[in-house]
Structure 1
């Protein structure tokens, strides 16, 4: 029994050290490496034109570079997501760009969600801070968790970078979180990609129309938010 207890203690200690090493790598080492050693990556996404030039510079490998950038943006949050989504619409076109972006988002959210599960509350507390972590987790454990998740990803301007981590240590199932977050992302992604596609084609009238339609949709969602919330509740109760 003593040998077994000692072995379990060593395993727990090794796991704790591994978690700490991963936490340091994610929070400190990887962002510093990208900012200092991969300056061309950061500079490549400072503007719309820079992002297009950067992606096209990789030729057929630009697909993998874009997917990696999407994943990295979600897991580490060191890259500006909207800029290279605009660029993706110009480089890949609307439909291929949408598929690639959703695939990258799904992969990034999967990594962040299960990474949070592995690190646990203690690790996430170091990333988010105790107060913010408790606030996020309590909301994800509430009865309105599905609505909250959908709206966070649907409404532009709401910070989304750390939501995956908070969801990972909550009671929300992964399938429900992934589905809600991806569906919520689609309208904004479509807007970014269409803008990029139309900008490349010089279709400025189409850009104005899309902007107006997006504005009207957001306004209607706000006005009828109670009905929208009820509808979402009824649908997504089935996937819990």
Structure 2
């Protein structure tokens, strides 16, 4: 009986992984045909190479590629996101670069979260998450939406880990989307602004902005309990929801 269950689970995993792998392969082949050199840029992850390549594509294709780079960065789990976000700031400016980055980041996070919920433990077997300490903090928290927000806000976790962990909490898709969206803004804004200021040669403003964001993140983490309490109080006043209501 146990072997039969294992065989069934293996078959389900194969039926999930094989089509997904084929889809990814087809997408990569198309991208390599339409955007020559895209795969090499993705593998290297060099900021200057990304900037040069994006500029060579023109505005529309550059925006599409920027979105894809940020999207794939989350799916890859280990591919660094900072070079992409700095490059977006250099090529497109702070605000358009931020919009592109957040769009790709949130879209990929929501997709992975949804797939993890649908596949359950099978997703762990496909892409195991070995962040046990962080996972415990998030999944055991009384307010997982805030912990997801904090995990996105403080860029200390490997890329792409957050949606796998969040899928094991009581969070629904809407609240996960909200947490990821607002949590991703500060650090991405910093990196896009740094890229834009590097282009303009305004290094002092980049340092000042970076210091403000870093200080805010530290204070938010240190006083997270008070922040949660304040947020619940505001929610109660605005919507008439009690703190113990779900």
TM-score where L is the length of structure 1: 0.77
Kindly report which structure 2 residues correspond to 1:217-228, keeping only aligned pairs within 5 A, or say none.
217-228=216-227
- TM-superposed CA distance for 1:137, in Å, is 7.2
1:42 corresponds to: 43
Q: Structure 2, unaligned stretches of length 5 or more?
A: 1-7, 32-37
2:84 corresponds to: 84
Q: Which deviates more, 200-209 or 120-129?
A: 120-129
Whether the 8 Å contact between 1:19 and 1:123 is mirrored in structure 2 is: no
| 1:19 maps to 2:16 | yes
Q: 1:13 to 1:186 in 2, by over 3 A?
A: closer
Aligned residue pairs total 222
Whether the 8 Å contact between 2:76 and 2:159 is mirrored in structure 1 is: no
Deviations 1:107-156 (A, max 9, x none): 11121112212322133244225x75797378336413122111111113
Whether the 8 Å contact between 2:41 and 2:50 is mirrored in structure 1 is: no
- Mapped to 2, the partners of 1:147 and 1:177 lie a distance apart of 10
- Mapped to 1, the partners of 2:200 and 2:124 lie a distance apart of 44
1:143 corresponds to: 142
Question: Which aligned runs of 4 or more in structure 1 are off by greater than 6 angstroms?
Answer: 11-14, 236-239
Whether the 8 Å contact between 1:154 and 1:184 is mirrored in structure 2 is: yes
2:119 corresponds to: 119
Deviations 1:153-206 (A, max 9, x none): 111323342211232344310110111111011110110011000000111121
Whether the 8 Å contact between 2:98 and 2:189 is mirrored in structure 1 is: yes
Deviations 1:1-44 (A, max 9, x none): xxxxxxxxxx9997554224257x39x979x999xx9324323x
1:208 corresponds to: 207
Q: 1:101 to 1:136 in 2, by over 3 A?
A: same
Q: 1:181 to 1:236 in 2, by over 3 A?
A: farther
CA RMSD of aligned residues (A): 3.4
Q: 1:19 to 1:113 in 2, by over 3 A?
A: same
- Mapped to 2, the partners of 1:179 and 1:55 lie a distance apart of 29
Q: Structure 1, unaligned stretches of length 5 or more?
A: 1-10
Deviations 1:192-240 (A, max 9, x none): 0110000001111211211222233234324433311322445678696
Q: 1:127 to 1:222 in 2, by over 3 A?
A: closer
